[in-house]
Structure 1
Amino acid sequence: MGNWSVDRLSDFLNTWGIWGHVIGALLAFIQTMIPLIPFVVVAGANVLLFGLWLGVLVNYVMSVLGAIAIFWLARNFGRHWIERKLERYAYIQLFNDRMEHNGFFYIAVSRVIPVLPSFGINWAAAVMRVKTRDFILGTIVGNLPTVLLESFIGHDLLHFEHNKSRLFILLGIFIILLVIGHICKNKWFRTDEKTTK
């Protein structure tokens, strides 16, 4: 799957007609569980398949539904398995107390600012003390700007000549968010490490 690009994926899905549209929507759903293809590629392909704003809507709705589905499944059926997988990532465990008391804030912020990969948030939150309501609301709020950003980047990568100014601005925003996410990750975890000593 590593060789996929926005145009190749879109062309491939188009050959399947209406079923290609269904597959494109399902890929946005599946990405929340297992990142087979970078979300920006899936998002861009769906924008080409469905049109700009309908594609953004499909990406947003399916990513939110996928996140909620994997959260519910993992919390109810795979909790012990996931806990064993995450034991080696001590920094994820440091989020537990924060998630219990400020789950909505940290889920929403982590969606907008890439402190952790989106699929990692879904899996990790399922074994933490975050309230289900906080996870759902945080995902609904936090996914919107992220999906908008990645959908437009995926679209503009293919239409570079027509949208290069906007693409450079969006890429600049994305890089800034990555830097802020790195700073937040260091700050949050360093603070937790101090308080746990």
Structure 2
Amino acid sequence: MTVWSVRHISDVLNSFGWYGHMAGALLVMLQTIFPFVPFFVVAGVNVLLFGFWGGFAVNYIFSCLGAAIVFFAARNFGRSWVQKKLAKYSYIEKFNEKLERHGLLYMVLIRLLPVLPSSVINLSAAVMKVRPLHFMIGTLIGKAPVILLESMIGHDLLHFRHYKGRLMILAAIFIVLLLVSHFVKERWFKSSKTGI
């Protein structure tokens, strides 16, 4: 999706006034439940609609709401089916035990580091031994800096001429996060397989 497309979507939504602004907010929730485009694209639309800080607030609040909806829906309606699918992976159960003991810490870490896509985190947490309170607090803490980063990337892509220097720094930060998350994921699943 091009920068023009993001601007066009934002202009169309803005033309509907309050209803368009609500649609922009709901797009965040929809993207959290069904990730149809990269998050920073939706974040960019809302930054144009609401301004940077307003867009960040909308992105953050509605992303957390979407995560909660997925978590509680999967826990209440699809838990047993997903657990059966995961039962053949012994290391998942060992990792599950870590989540039961240190759920809040792990939730914050996997939100801060893109170890897994957000939609996968929401579904996996729902069927593993993560306490709902730990899921929600971990999500609220861990999503804030990541959504701020993605909102800034969306903003700076739309204003490339003025912010290209900062965009390069933000892109470098994002790449470092990806590399760190790859290392962390290897360590976690290696230790889970060996029972450490």
TM-score (norm 1): 0.90
Give 1:169 shift.
Answer: 0.7
Residue number in structure 1 paired with 2:127: 127
Tell me whether 1:165 sits opposite 2:189 in the alignment.
no
Q: How much does 1:112 deviate?
A: 0.9
Aligned match of 1:150: 150
Q: Give the residue type in structure 1 aligned to 2:37.
A: I
**Preserved CA contact (<8 Å) 1:32 1:122:** no
Cα deviation digits, residues 137-195 of structure 1 (max 9, x gap): 00000000011000010010010000111111111100000000000000110111111
The aligned residue for residue 11 of structure 1 is 11
Write the letter of the residue equivalent to 1:31: Q
31-40 or 168-177, which moves further after superposition? 31-40
Q: Which amino acid aligns with 1:113?
A: L
Q: What stretches of structure 2 of length at least 5 have no aligned partner?
A: none
Residue number in structure 1 paired with 2:187: 187
* Structure 2 Cα separation of the partners of residues 163 and 94 of structure 1: 45
In 2, Cα distance between equivalents of 1:34 and 1:91: 27
- Residues 108 and 139, structure 1, Cα contact 8 Å, conserved in 2: yes
Aligned pairs, number = 195
1:65 maps to 65
In the alignment, the residues of structure 1 paired with residue 6 and residue 121 of structure 2 have an alpha-carbon distance, to the nearest angstrom, of: 25
Q: What's the secondary structure of 2:116's corresponding residue?
A: coil
**Distance (Å, rounded) in 1 between the aligned partners of 2:121 and 2:22:** 25
Q: How many angstroms apart in 1 are the aligned matches of 2:163 and 2:60? A: 22
Shift of 1:104: 0.7
What corresponds to 2:175 in structure 1?
175
Structure holding more helix per residue: 2
Give the root-mean-square deviation of aligned CA atoms.
2.1
- In the alignment, the residues of structure 1 paired with residue 17 and residue 88 of structure 2 have an alpha-carbon distance, to the nearest angstrom, of 44
Give the drift of 1:41: 0.3
